[in-house]
């Protein structure tokens, strides 16, 4: 049994498999072709933080695969009334086939997984957001790295440059893990005090997979992909005002996009705040692929659920 708690839980070879399946599953969806490999399987989704994309993509995706879904939140379950996480994991995992959790500390999802009889998927923690980076990479491959048969070719990511502008948060940490595993480079530019947590990501300070830039424009120079995220992640709302000041120069503008390669794409995991971390003309402009990126959450997660429950499907 395999869990998916961080990006590095899968090998490059497993990502190649999951992305190939995502491409096939997406084609079936677009053609209204029924594909029900998960009949009688149930996914429990546990949300301790808000969500639009993660909820809709997992819920719609599981139904499309023929399975069903149970939706739990802290407020409407015993999770919010101090039932030990270990006990919740033991009970929930006796009744369902798969669990997706969005929570605060990574240690919580690790504790749950350690006591679960079924695979556990990270739907976002303070430290990581692996399903999102999977969707982002799949989106980049779809736009820029398809092979002759129109399938995503992971090898073509080697040597690419991703510019990360803004908070060194769960998304940034996950980008670093992806870069180390798949052979591309992340140019990270964050305000001082908000650096990506390389230690938590398990990336050494001298790893060739990332470079730090104090100037966001320099980070974007010749990048193949420019990406950012909110200045204040969920759970850090008390720091809102301080962050608004600290991040004022870390906004993806047209000038930053012009420093990147002419064919560079722009991504944002969403929700976005136009005028804060990104200018409207960038996120709503021709280089932005944010709607494909959001949609692809569903296709890659369907492939992920298929892989965790059924293994390699030819
Ligand atoms: N990108 C993302 O995870 O969105 P939600 O918070 O809406 O799920
Ligand atoms: N970094 C953001 C991502 C939201 C999808 C957060 O954790 O709130």
Structural domains in the chain, sorted by start? 7-128+294-310 (3.40.50.1370), 132-293 (3.40.50.1370)
Nearest-atom index, ligand 1, CA of 57: 8
CA angle 47, 140, 66 (to 5 degrees): 45
CB 211 within 8 A of CB 166: no
Q: Please measure the distance between the N-terminal and C-terminal CA atoms of the chain and give it in whole angstroms.
A: 19
The number of C-alpha atoms within 13 Å of 309 and in the hemisphere containing its C-beta is 22
Q: What pTM does this model have?
A: 0.98
| Pocket flag, ligand 1, residue 270 (CB < 6 Å) | yes
| Pocket flag, ligand 2, residue 135 (CB < 6 Å) | no
Distance CA(166)–CA(164), nearest Å, equals 7
Which residues does the chain have with pLDDT short of 50? Answer: none
Tens of pLDDT, residues 70-109: 999 999 999 999 999 999 999 999 999 999 999 999 999 9
The number of C-alpha atoms within 13 Å of 223 and in the hemisphere containing its C-beta is 32
Catalytic residue list? 102, 129, 132, 229, 269, 297
Specify the pLDDT at position 68.
98
Closest C-alpha to 219, from 182, 168, 169: 168
Specify the pLDDT at position 206.
87
Specify the pLDDT at position 200.
96
Residue 268 host element (H or E): strand 265-268
- Across the beta sheet with 161-165, the strand order is 210-212, 185-189, 161-165, 225-228, 265-268
The rounded Å distance from CA 206 to ligand 1 centre is 31
Of 233, 236, 240, the one to substitute when testing ligand 2's pocket (max ligand atoms within 8 A of C-beta) is 233
Eight-state DSSP code of residue 192 = T
List, in order, residues 6 or more apart from 83 with CB less than 8 Å away: none
| Pocket flag, ligand 2, residue 17 (CB < 6 Å) | no
Specify the pLDDT at position 105.
98
Distance CA(294)–CA(267), nearest Å, equals 10
Of 51, 135, 228, the one to substitute when testing ligand 1's pocket (max ligand atoms within 8 A of C-beta) is 51
The rounded Å distance from CA 233 to ligand 2 centre is 5
Closest C-alpha to 65, from 8, 25, 92: 25
List, in order, residues 6 or more apart from 23 with CB less than 8 Å away: 142, 150, 151, 152, 299
Length reported for the chain: 314
Tens of pLDDT, residues 134-182: 999 999 999 999 999 999 999 999 999 999 999 999 999 999 999 999 9
| Pocket flag, ligand 1, residue 268 (CB < 6 Å) | no
In SS3 terms, 199-230 reads as HHHCCCCCCCCEEECCCHHHHHCCCCEEEECC
Average pLDDT of every residue of the chain: 97
| Pocket flag, ligand 2, residue 125 (CB < 6 Å) | no
């Amino acid at each position: 049994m395999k869990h998916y708690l961080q990006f590095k839980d899968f090998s490059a070879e497993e990502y190649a498999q999951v992305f190939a399946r995502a491409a096939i599953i997406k084609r079936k969806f677009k053609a209204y072709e029924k594909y029900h490999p998960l009949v009688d399987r149930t996914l429990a989704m546990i949300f301790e933080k808000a969500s639009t994309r993660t909820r809709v993509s997992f819920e719609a995706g599981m139904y499309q695969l023929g399975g069903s879904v149970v939706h739990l939140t802290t407020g409407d379950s015993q999770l919010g009334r101090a039932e030990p996480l270990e006990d919740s994991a033991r009970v929930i995992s006796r009744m369902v086939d798969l669990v997706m959790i969005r929570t605060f500390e990574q240690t919580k999802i690790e504790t749950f997984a350690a006591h679960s009889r079924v695979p556990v998927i990270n739907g976002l923690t303070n430290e990581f957001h692996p399903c999102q980076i999977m969707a982002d990479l799949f989106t980049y491959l779809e736009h820029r790295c398809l092979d002759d048969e129109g399938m995503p070719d992971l090898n073509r990511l080697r040597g690419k440059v991703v510019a990360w502008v803004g908070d060194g948060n769960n998304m940034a940490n996950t980008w670093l893990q992806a870069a180390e595993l798949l052979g591309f480079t992340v140019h990270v530019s964050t305000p001082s005090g908000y650096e990506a947590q390389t230690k938590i990501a398990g990336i050494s300070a001298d790893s060739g997979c990332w470079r730090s830039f104090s100037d966001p424009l320099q980070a974007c120079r010749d990048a193949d992909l420019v990406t950012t995220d909110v200045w204040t992640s969920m759970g850090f709302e008390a720091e809102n005002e301080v962050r608004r000041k600290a991040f004022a120069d870390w906004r993806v503008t047209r000038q930053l996009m012009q420093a990147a390669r002419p064919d560079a794409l722009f991504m944002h995991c969403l929700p976005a705040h136009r005028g804060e971390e990104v200018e409207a003309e960038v996120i709503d402009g021709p280089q932005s692929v944010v709607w494909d990126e959001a949609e692809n959450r569903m296709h890659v997660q369907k492939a992920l659920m298929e892989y965790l429950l059924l293994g390699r499907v030819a």
